[in-house]
Amino acid sequence: MEDEERLADLVKGGLAGEGFAVDVAHDGRDGLWMATENTYDVIVLDVMLPRMNGYALCSRLREAGDWTPIMMLTAKDGIYDEAEALDNGADDYLAKPFSYVVLLARLRALVRRGGRERPVSITVGDLVVDPAALKCRRGEVVVALTPKEFAVLHALARRAGEVVSKSELLAQAWDFSYDGDPNIVEVYISALRRKIDVPFGRTTLMTVRGAGYRLEAE
């Protein structure tokens, strides 16, 4: 028997003992199918799933409007995986190896709080920022952004019309371990302008000298 299948059965057995009713799918396609056909309290998802990986399955479900709480199981444990899991719409994640106690505690917490509110896309004038899809568009034109660019834009869009200071942007778009040149913010602002303003002859991303930046609807 495969390792994953053995794990799945263990989890199933344990959760059943806790009073959960459990369905198991052994690959991504089946999982997607079952998730769309049924209503679950919570979905536990392995990142490394045959036929469709966990991230993909997760985003597919979210795109389809399914906001069932999702717990993602990841093999690696870098912060990028965590962030990636959450970015893809998971509500929580657990790095392997994990203890049964922890999984159970987390699942109970997830079920109790009923999952996340659906992320809303933010609209600033004719600029639409979609956190769920990590995309943005101006009018009907889709603008491609790198993850970092998106993080900065998202932080600005969440507070559209307000001045967001450089240090706030640093705190929100960079790791706490980041210890580099704050000039990096200027570099990204510059890049964003080149993508969301210049091609459209707009100036919505304003500098407020000595204070920060402001994204305006106009």
Partner DNA sequence: AATGATCTTCAGGTTGGCTTTAGGTGACCT
Partner DNA sequence: AGGTCACCTAAAGCCAACCTGAAGATCATT
- Rounded CA gap, 174 and 189, in Å? 14
- Start-end of H helices in 19-124: 28-37, 54-63, 79-87, 100-113
Residue 51 or 108: which CB sits closer to its own copies? 108
Q: Which of 192, 190, 189, 64 has the alpha carbon at shortest distance from 127?
A: 192
CB count within 10 Å of CB 113 equals 10
Considering only 107, 128, 149, 204, the residue that binds DNA (CB under 7 A) is 149
14 is a site residue for its own copies (CB under 8 A): yes
162 is a site residue for its own copies (CB under 8 A): yes
Residue 52 or 121: which CB sits closer to its own copies? 121
Residue 177 or 183: which CB sits closer to its own copies? 177
Considering only 174, 185, 192, 195, the residue that binds its own copies (CB under 8 A) is 174
Q: Which of 188, 195, 194, 179 has the alpha carbon at shortest distance from 213?
A: 188
Residue 105: CB partners within 8 Å, gap ≥ 6? Answer: none
Q: Applying CB under 8 A, which part among 28-36, 45-53, 57-65, 175-183 lies near its own copies?
A: 175-183
Q: Applying CB under 8 A, which part among 38-46, 56-64, 95-103, 188-196 lies near its own copies?
A: 95-103
129 is a site residue for its own copies (CB under 8 A): no
Considering only 76, 113, 120, 217, the residue that binds its own copies (CB under 8 A) is 113
- Residue 97 preceded by cis peptide, ω within 30: yes
